[in-house]
Amino acid sequence: MVKGNGKAYSGGWHWQAVGMNVWEAFTCVAICYGLLVIYRKSYNEQGRLERLLSDNAFSVYVFHPPILILLARVLHATAWPVLVKLAALTVLSAICTFVLSAAVFRRIPLLREIL
């Protein structure tokens, strides 16, 4: 069993809390850099699906709010549990927004130049 001032590690003006914060920050940055290196070496290529998603990412970012709101209004009328509605809204809005972006938004002449 550990003895001593364990509360000092929880925060406040203690050198133990400072040490824990420095350790956590260092660990998080190291893990992020490590994951970047792993993914750069292992997954540094795009297939057809990844290329489609990448090409339409900005268009989806711009146009997803109205589509999300429209689908939320449609799903509001259903008697499904909240978590089921959340899952359905997430999947439907992502699919609809990417499909509309690829099939409609990026084919309009004025938007094609922007997106």
Q: What is the mean predicted confidence (pLDDT) over 19-30?
A: 94
The torsion defined by the Cα of 27, 28, 29 and 35, in degrees rounded to 10, comes to: 100
79 pLDDT exceeds 80?
Answer: yes
CB contact set of 15 (below 8 Å; sequence gap of 6+): 8
**pTM of the predicted protein model:** 0.62
**Of 96, 88, 91, whose CA–CA distance to 66 is shortest?**
96
Q: What is the mean predicted confidence (pLDDT) over 63-78?
A: 93
5 pLDDT exceeds 70?
Answer: no
**The token pair that represents 65 in the structure block:** 């709010």
